[in-house]
Amino acid sequence: MSIDVLERPEAVIDDERVFVMLTVAGQTCGVPVASVRDILGEQAITRIPLAPPEIAGSLNLRGRIVTAVDLRRRLNLPPPPEGHKPMSVVAEHGGELYALLVDQVSEVMSLKAEDFESNPPTLEQAWAVFSTGIYRLEDRLLVVLDVPKLLALSGED
C-alpha cells in the first residue's frame, strides 16, 4: 500500500496546521504534512550491518534507497508486540529519504495554530526530546514530532 501525499494541502491554511496523524506505542503523534513524501504499508527491510540500533535497515521506494528508522527504538520505547507489522511515513531530510517506522497511520488533520502549546513538564522525557509541542484533542494528547531532530542520527541531537 502506498499513498502519495505529494499533492497535499498546504502545511498551514488560514492559521491552521496540517498533520499526518500516527501512533507509536499507544501515543498519538503528528508529523507536519509538508514533511511527508509517502505513507507505506509493511515493506521488506534489509538490515544494514553495524548500523545504530534505531536504524531498522533500508527499503526500496520506486528505485530509491530509503533508510528505515525505528521510532520505538529512537524514542527508547518497548518493542512492538510479536507479529506487529509497522507502517512507514517517508520524510525527506538533507536531500535523503527516511522511512519512520510507526505502529499506525490514521488520518490527515487540520488543527488551529492558536491551540498549539509548548511541551508540558509532565510529558515523558523520551517524547519531549523529539517534540516541538502538543495539541490537546478531545480524548487524547497529540505530540507534534520534530522530524529533523528525529533524523539527526549522528549524535547531533
pLDDT at 27: 94
Listing DSSP states for 60-122 in one string gives EETTEEEEEEEHHHHTTPPPPPTT---EEEEEEETTEEEEEEESEEEEEEEEEGGG-BPPPTT
Ordered per-residue pLDDT tens for the chain, 157 residues: 444 444 444 444 568 899 999 999 999 999 999 999 999 999 999 999 999 999 999 999 999 999 999 999 999 999 988 888 999 999 988 888 999 999 999 999 999 999 999 999 999 998 999 999 999 999 899 999 999 999 886 544 4
Give the end-to-end CA distance of the chain in Å, rounded to a whole number. Answer: 32
Only one residue has cell 536531500, namely 95
Query: What is the structure's pLDDT at 7?
Result: 42
Residue 59 CB neighbour total at 10 angstroms: 20
Residue 92 burial (C-beta neighbours within 10 Å; 0-12, 13-18, 19+): middle
Inter-CA distances, 21 with 64, 82, 90, 107, Å: 25, 23, 13, 5
What's the whole-model pTM score? 0.84
Task: Give the Å distances, CA to CA, from 119 to 43, 61, 75.
Answer: 33, 34, 16
Query: In CATH, which of 1.10.1040.10, 3.90.1110.10, 1.10.150.20, 2.40.50.180 is domain 2-150?
Result: 2.40.50.180
* pLDDT confidence of residue 83: 86
